[in-house]
Amino acid sequence: MNSAPFLILETGQPVASLRRYGRFPHWIRVAAGLDADETVVVDVEHGGALPDHRRFAGVIVTGSAALVTDHADWSERSARWLHDAAHAGRPVFGICYGHQLLAHALGGEVAYNPAGRESGTIELALDPSASTDPLFAGLPTRFPAHATHLQTVVRAPDGAAILARSAQDNCHAFRWGRQAWGVQFHPEFATHHMRGYVRARAECIGRHGGCARSVARAVSAAPLARQLLRRFVRQARDA
């Protein structure tokens, strides 16, 4: 078993109204069942130095309000690092922005979602390839997850397996190689995180034809999506 710590690449901050609950790495660590001394956090958005990926059991990349398509210097630097880590076989798990950044790093394409903003508790539909995936195998073919995003992976990297979709997004999860995963949804979100994001994005939801109050009322628990972080930790430990 690999007892090395996990590296969390912090690519952004939660909306201001939710920062009382801590930063994304804390939410992720709690959902993944990791103790504080089992993680190292690098704030790449603010210039944190990227360490040697070989020092870590695995890498988790957070979400962000930034846009991959802006090609910010810190983002492109992180993409090159993720490219090298994934090609070296390091276990990687990208969430939302991290999912898009990983896809970009591996040659996929990120753009604004043609279906518009996706917000709230959505239903994931697993692709047949998920039945043999180390993280998704054994899960129901449909289950809820929390999502909030404007951009998406419009073309997965060559050779990637699409694992899950939603009514608004044809690439909600993918695996590239043996151990690099991206998920557009937020497995680290609890219901209070999701409702907070719906309130914070209410105006944008309205511009895209939705009703934030209805979306907020429909928020429900997403325990199976949350399981995926712990499954990733186990997979990385056993790699």
Query: Which CATH number belongs to the domain containing residue 149 in this structure?
Result: 3.40.50.880
Question: How large is the average pLDDT for residues 38-57?
Answer: 98
| pLDDT of res. 1 | 84
Residue 151 lies in a domain: yes
Note whether residue 208 is domain-resident.
Answer: yes
Q: Is residue 35 part of a domain?
A: yes
Q: Is 90 exceeded by the pLDDT of residue 163? A: yes
> CA–CA separation, 51 vs 76, rounded Å?
16
The verdict on residue 86 lying in a domain is yes
Residue-wise pLDDT for 117-141, tens only, equals: 999 999 999 999 999 999 999 999 9
| pTM of the predicted model as reported, rounded to 2 decimal places | 0.97
- pLDDT tens column, 200-211: 999 999 999 999
In the residue annotation, 186 being an active-site residue is answered as: yes
Set 96, 99, 149, 172: catalytic member: 96
Domain count of the chain?
1
- Does residue 201 lie within any of the structural domains? yes
158 band by pLDDT with thresholds 50, 70 and 90: very high
Structural domain of 11: 6-238
Q: What is the pLDDT of residue 85?
A: 98
96 is catalytic: yes
Is residue 66, in this structure, part of any structural domain at all? yes
pLDDT in tens, 61-109: 999 999 999 999 999 999 999 999 999 999 999 999 999 999 999 999 9
Question: Could you tell me the pLDDT band of residue 144, with boundaries at 50, 70 and 90?
Answer: very high
In a domain, 165, yes or no: yes
Backbone angles phi, psi at 193, to 5 degrees: -65, -45
Residue 1 lies in a domain: no
